Amino acid sequence: MRNVLVTGASRGIGRAVAIAFATNGHRVAVHYGSSRVDGEATLALLPGDGHALVTGDLADPAQAAEIGRSAAEQLGTIDVLVNNAAVAPTAANLHRIADVSYENWQAAWRQTIDVNLLGATNLTYCVARGLIAAGIAGTIINVGSRGAFRGEPDYPAYGASKAALHAFGQSMAIALAPHNIAVASVAPGFISTDRQAGKLAGSQGDDIRDQSPFGRVGTPEEVAAAVLYLASPEAAWASGSILDLNGASYLRS
């Protein structure tokens, strides 16, 4: 049994990841940002005992540290960190360079980088230092994106934040290997989360599904299965890798 902290676990991919770990006998700290109701809903879905609920704004360095401290206090240790929480592309943070004001351009970049990149780096620091101090082997998994490779012209801050997260993960894979801490990333394509249900049901749905030769989009459970494997001790030799999970919708060399 391992103790796992999953950020952004109140819905979507994060919820599926939390459920996958709990189903396989691990204890999970469920992190939520703003919706306690959704966080508690995830917690209620987890089989087994000893799970925990933690909250905090990852954009705030002090709160990021408190998330790690609270999770470790409730679980005893954190053996696995899954950096999943992110500011995702929405109509509210659309920032096409030809259309958006300079003020809104800056706001989109600041919010996205603060959560998607710096929130993950700060929490990684806190968890890794705890593992090093305790002399415990561990794993850190970053949830990146296909957009890091193919580009996000309508949401460039999102694509850049995920590319930086992938690069950060590879740097940490080298830095933390001497401490028996493995670090890997997954890069999902379009995933059928609740947040994307409207888009998939609308006029864009068929075009989105046709991006993959499988004629569909991925599921949160498929991402969770990959995270579960990469976080296992047996996958330590995959440290430094970035696993594409996009149904062959984007192939990179």
- DSSP letters, the chain, are --EEEETTTTSHHHHHHHHHHHHTT-EEEEEESS-HHHHHHHHHH--SS--EEEE--TTSHHHHHHHHHHHHHHHS---EEEE-------GGG---TTTS-HHHHHHHHHHHIIIIIIIHHHHHHHHHHHHHHHT--EEEEEE--THHHH--TT-HHHHHHHHHHHHHHHHHHHHHGGGTEEEEEEEE-SB--GGGHHHHHSTTHHHHHTTSTTSS-B-HHHHHHHHHHHTSGGGGGGTT-EEEESTTSS---
Least confident of 8-12, 16-20, 87-91, 198-202: 198-202
Active site residue 199: no
- Of the residues 10, 70, 145, 185, only one is catalytic, namely 145
Closest CA to 46 of 84, 80, 16: 16
Active site residue 241: no
Give the CA-trace dihedral at 248, 160, 89, 246, to 10 degrees: 10
Predicted pLDDT of residue 125 = 98
Predicted pLDDT of residue 35 = 95
pLDDT tens string 124-139: 999 999 999 999 999 9
For the chain, give the mean pLDDT: 97
pLDDT tens string 172-223: 999 999 999 999 999 999 999 988 888 889 899 999 999 999 999 999 999 9
pLDDT tens string 217-242: 999 999 999 999 999 999 999 999 99
Predicted pLDDT of residue 91 = 92
Predicted pLDDT of residue 198 = 84
Domains of the chain: 3-192+219-245 (3.40.50.720)
- Of the residues 10, 32, 158, 249, only one is catalytic, namely 158
- Of the residues 162, 185, 192, 249, only one is catalytic, namely 162
The mean pLDDT value for 19-27 works out to: 98
- High-pLDDT (> 90) share of the chain, %: 95
pLDDT tens string 50-77: 999 999 999 999 999 999 999 999 999 9
